[in-house]
């Protein structure tokens, strides 16, 4: 079993913005790692306390991940930490080296782990290109 990390910041505390950002993050993780639903063991989501309009896991359900166990948690409140942020840990069942997996950090969350940011670039709207 392996884990893939990711994070994204959200423009505003609204249901559509949270779901859109979470969907973008999950789609990028799935695409860049060529994941299939069969490989997914579970997905843990955390969000900062300023995001409280919807569970990020709903975006995974709307993407069709109906059989994958999901859990949403609140991120620790650390002084001066990044706000409006959703983080994810995707557990997968794959026999590979950790360096073969691509962690995905989008928008303002790119500052969290610059050492893990994949080689993809984002445009001014935070979209992958």
The catalytic residue positions are 5, 61, 72, 75, 87, 105, 113
Interior angle at CA 69, CA 62 and CA 54, nearest 5 = 45
Who's near 31: CB < 8 A, 6+ residues apart? none
User: What length does the chain have?
Assistant: 129
Side-chain-side CA neighbours of residue 93 (13 Å): 8
> For residue 9, how many other CB atoms are within 10 A of its CB?
21
């Amino acid at each position: 079993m392996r884990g893939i990390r990711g994070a994204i910041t959200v423009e505003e505390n609204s249901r559509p913005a949270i779901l859109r950002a979470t969907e973008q993050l999950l789609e990028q993780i799935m695409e860049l790692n060529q994941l299939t639903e069969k490989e997914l063991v579970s997905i843990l989501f955390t969000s900062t306390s300023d995001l409280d309009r919807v569970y990020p896991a709903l975006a995974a359900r709307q993407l069709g991940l109906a059989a994958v166990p999901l859990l949403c948690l609140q991120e620790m409140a650390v002084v001066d930490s990044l706000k409006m942020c959703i983080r994810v840990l995707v557990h997968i069942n794959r026999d590979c080296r950790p360096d073969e997996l691509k962690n995905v950090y989008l928008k303002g969350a790119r500052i969290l782990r610059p050492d893990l940011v994949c080689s993809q670039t984002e445009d001014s709207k935070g979209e992958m290109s």
